């Protein structure tokens, strides 16, 4: 059945123009991925079941699910409902499902009763008794706009992914003990803005399996989607994490089942996405650290100046009224180097108070790592006595400082630098950050050691006057036992 749907879909792609082929070809689920996903359903012996594909496309996932249910041997009738409002897909969807219907009857003696609704799944009216035993969907991944952007405001912020809205509506249609397989943008796993969505979703249906997609390279971020298999009702004791190692290969299950609390955070319902036991151990050790920046009264902020907004205020030299403007390139070997020879626009005239900040002991960090950076987080210490009374920071930096007039003492500050520059933090960020850009909200949630251990790390670094990442790794390992 699945093979029939895949072959028919490839015809559609070939019949489309070359440019259109590039546009639509990536939207269809690959054969072995579809088979692995549908095969992850837990099947029950029942005369009839109800199956939904929300946003069915050409019916690849629906075909995979029908095939898996029919092969399970415990079902005689399948009531399949498919929502699809793209007229380009509807003829192929109908043709594929008719082929699947005949195959199910001939090979498995299963009656497939189909309903294709040419409607928008999100805005369609769903009857009170519309409930499904199995739901499978690969919804659109783009950002919700227009009418969609205002749906379910109590759960979704502005700019939420459409896939989250599809998943939310689908979960509300699950029958008791019903199962849902859905693909979401990777950022859904930990985005701070989507905490209400994750909490609300997992109260309805909790994750039983998490499917990941292999990195293109060892050091690159994860593929930008994650697939969840959820079950209506209370949370399970364990969760399986599986990895698709290639574009069209079956999922591997090298990791043992993990405790539910190890995969789903009780704090914010974020997901632990790991590919190996070593990654899991590193993540758990980091999560066990007791503190956050707020524990110490510290704040994580974004640099003050978006330079393209104030070109008339930028200066190449320290003229009267100008203050230093620190850029990411000023961060060198753990310290701030300023001024940089031959670099233009290193000063700004702060026309308003919001364009400068008082000199304090702070920690600066690049928001976007450069390709040459060894770590995703590049930090540098700025000591109050090395800058004028006021200075400014580029919007391409984040910085950490104490509230009000409070100051971080140098030992604590260097300890914070050493810890954030270390390999365990780099690994944690690679596992949990879903984009190449590190925003202040993500940084604010980083786990940290207590103040005593941070000062021990800082004291060692200051004594040796060595701030390279490799030395930070050594000191953090010796003092904290991680890394």
Among 240, 246, 190, 191, CA closest to 214: 246
Tens digit of pLDDT at every position of the chain (483 positions):
665 555 555 555 445 544 454 444 445 678 888 999 999 999 988 999 999 999 898 899 999 999 999 999 889 999 999 999 989 889 999 999 999 999 999 999 999 999 999 999 999 999 989 999 999 999 988 888 877 888 888 888 877 889 999 999 999 999 999 999 999 998 898 888 899 999 999 999 999 999 988 755 544 444 588 999 999 999 999 999 998 887 767 788 778 888 898 789 888 898 888 777 677 777 778 888 999 999 999 999 999 999 999 999 999 999 999 999 999 999 988 999 999 988 899 999 999 999 999 999 999 999 888 877 878 889 999 999 888 889 999 999 999 999 888 999 999 999 999 999 999 898 888 777 656 566 787 788 899 999 999 999 999 999 988 888 899 999 999 999 887
Q: What is the pLDDT of residue 455?
A: 97
The answer to whether the Cα torsion of 93, 95, 99, 104 is positive or negative is positive
Strand order in the sheet with 335-336: 298-302, 397-402, 362-366, 379-382, 335-336, 331-332
Q: What is the pLDDT of residue 303?
A: 93
Q: Which two tokens stand for residue 145?
A: 């706009």
Cβ-Cβ contacts under 8 Å for 295 (sequence gap 6 or more)? 448
Residues 92 and 10: their CA atoms lie apart, in Å, by 10
Q: Nearest 10 degrees: CA dihedral of 173, 175, 178, 181?
A: -10
Residues 54 and 466: their CA atoms lie apart, in Å, by 57
Q: What is the pLDDT of residue 71?
A: 93
pTM above 0.75, yes or no: no
Q: What is the CA radius of gyration of the chain?
A: 27
Q: Which two tokens stand for residue 15?
A: 């019949």
Q: What is the pLDDT of residue 25?
A: 41
Strand partners, 357: 391
> Do 390 and 357 contact (CB within 8 A), yes or no?
yes
Q: What is the pLDDT of residue 51?
A: 97
Per the listing, tokens 């979960």 go with: 171
Residues 3 and 6: their CA atoms lie apart, in Å, by 5
Per the listing, tokens 């009702």 go with: 233
Residues 391 and 398: their CA atoms lie apart, in Å, by 15
Q: What is the pLDDT of residue 21?
A: 47
């Amino acid at each position: 059945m699945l093979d029939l749907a895949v072959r028919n879909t490839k015809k559609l792609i070939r019949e489309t123009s070359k440019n259109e082929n590039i546009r639509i070809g990536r939207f269809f689920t690959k054969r072995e991925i579809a088979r692995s996903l549908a095969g992850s359903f837990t099947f029950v012996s029942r005369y009839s079941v109800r199956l939904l594909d929300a946003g069915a496309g050409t019916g690849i996932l629906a075909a995979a699910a029908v095939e898996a249910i029919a092969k399970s041997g415990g079902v005689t009738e399948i009531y399949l409902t498919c929502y699809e409002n793209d007229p380009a897909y509807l003829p192929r969807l109908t043709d594929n499902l008719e082929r699947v219907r005949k195959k199910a009857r001939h090979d498995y003696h299963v009656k497939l009763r189909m309903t294709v609704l040419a409607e928008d799944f999100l805005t369609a009216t769903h009857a009170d008794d519309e409930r499904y035993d199995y739901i499978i969907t690969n919804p659109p991944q783009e950002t919700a706009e227009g009418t969609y952007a205002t749906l379910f405001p109590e759960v979704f912020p502005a700019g939420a992914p459409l896939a989250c809205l599809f998943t939310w509506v689908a979960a509300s249609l699950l029958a008791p003990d019903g199962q849902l397989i859905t693909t979401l943008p990777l950022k859904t796993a930990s985005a701070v803005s989507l905490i209400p969505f994750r909490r609300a979703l997992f109260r309805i249906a909790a994750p039983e399996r998490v499917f990941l997609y292999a990195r293109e390279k060892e050091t690159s971020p994860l593929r930008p989607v994650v697939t969840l298999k959820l079950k209506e009702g209370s949370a399970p004791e364990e969760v399986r994490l599986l990895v698709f190692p290639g574009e069209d290969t079956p999922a591997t299950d090298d990791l043992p089942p993990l405790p539910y609390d190890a995969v789903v955070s009780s704090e914010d319902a974020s997901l632990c996405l790991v590919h190996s036991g070593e990654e899991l151990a590193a993540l758990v050790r980091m999560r066990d650290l007791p503190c956050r920046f707020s524990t110490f009264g510290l704040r994580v902020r974004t640099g003050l100046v978006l330079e393209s907004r104030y070109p008339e205020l930028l200066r190449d030299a320290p003229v009267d009224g100008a203050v230093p403007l620190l850029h990411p390139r000023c961060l060198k070997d753990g310290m701030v180097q300023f001024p940089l020879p031959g670099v233009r626009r290193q000063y700004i005239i702060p026309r308003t108070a919001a364009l400068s900040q008082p000199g304090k002991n702070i920690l600066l960090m690049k928001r976007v790592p450069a390709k040459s950076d060894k770590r995703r987080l590049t930090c540098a210490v700025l000591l109050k006595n090395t800058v004028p009374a006021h200075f400014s920071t580029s919007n391409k930096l984040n910085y950490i400082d104490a509230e009000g007039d409070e100051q971080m003492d140098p030992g604590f500050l260097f300890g914070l630098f050493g810890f954030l520059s270390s390999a365990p933090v780099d690994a944690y960020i690679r596992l949990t950050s879903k984009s190449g850009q590190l925003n202040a909200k993500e940084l604010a949630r980083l786990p940290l050691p207590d103040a005593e251990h941070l000062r021990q790390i800082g004291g060692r670094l200051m004594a040796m006057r060595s701030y390279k990442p490799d030395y930070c790794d050594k000191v953090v390992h010796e003092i904290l036992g991680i890394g």
